[in-house]
Amino acid sequence: MPELGALREAEEYAGKIVDQAQKDAQKTLLGTPIALEEMNREKEARLAAIAAQAQAAVDAEMRDLEARLEGETGIRLAAIEARRSAIEEEALVLLRERILRGGTGG
């Protein structure tokens, strides 16, 4: 009968191992949604960081484009103003000549 006692002890030990394994499996199953939620939060944080970097790059490019456009616009306005001044001056010269000639067409 000693074998029967050893078998019972082995069965009890195996039962404890099975019980512990079931408890561990239950903990794992309960922890899975929490782990998935944490992974999703981390993924969202990484995506937010990537989006922020992309937005910063776009903002920097927009500032650069605005500055270049502002510079080009200033140059063009200066050229237009110079031409306008030259035309006004030429018109004044022609008007003086016409007045000095007595206003007659020529």
**Least confident residue range of 24-28, 42-46, 88-92:** 24-28
Q: Can you read off the two tokens belonging to residue 71? A: 């510079």
Tokens 């078998």 identify what position?
7
In this model, does residue 105 exceed pLDDT 90?
A: no
The secondary structure of 63-92 as a DSSP string is HHHHHHHHHHHHHHHHHHHHHHHHHHHHHH
Which has the closest alpha carbon to 55: 63, 32, 97? 63
Mean pLDDT of 5-14: 84
| Single-letter residue type at 70 | E
Mean of the per-residue pLDDT values of the chain: 89
- Hey, what are 10's tokens? 């082995």
pLDDT band at 104, cuts 50/70/90? low
pLDDT in tens, 28-57: 877 788 888 889 999 999 999 999 999 999
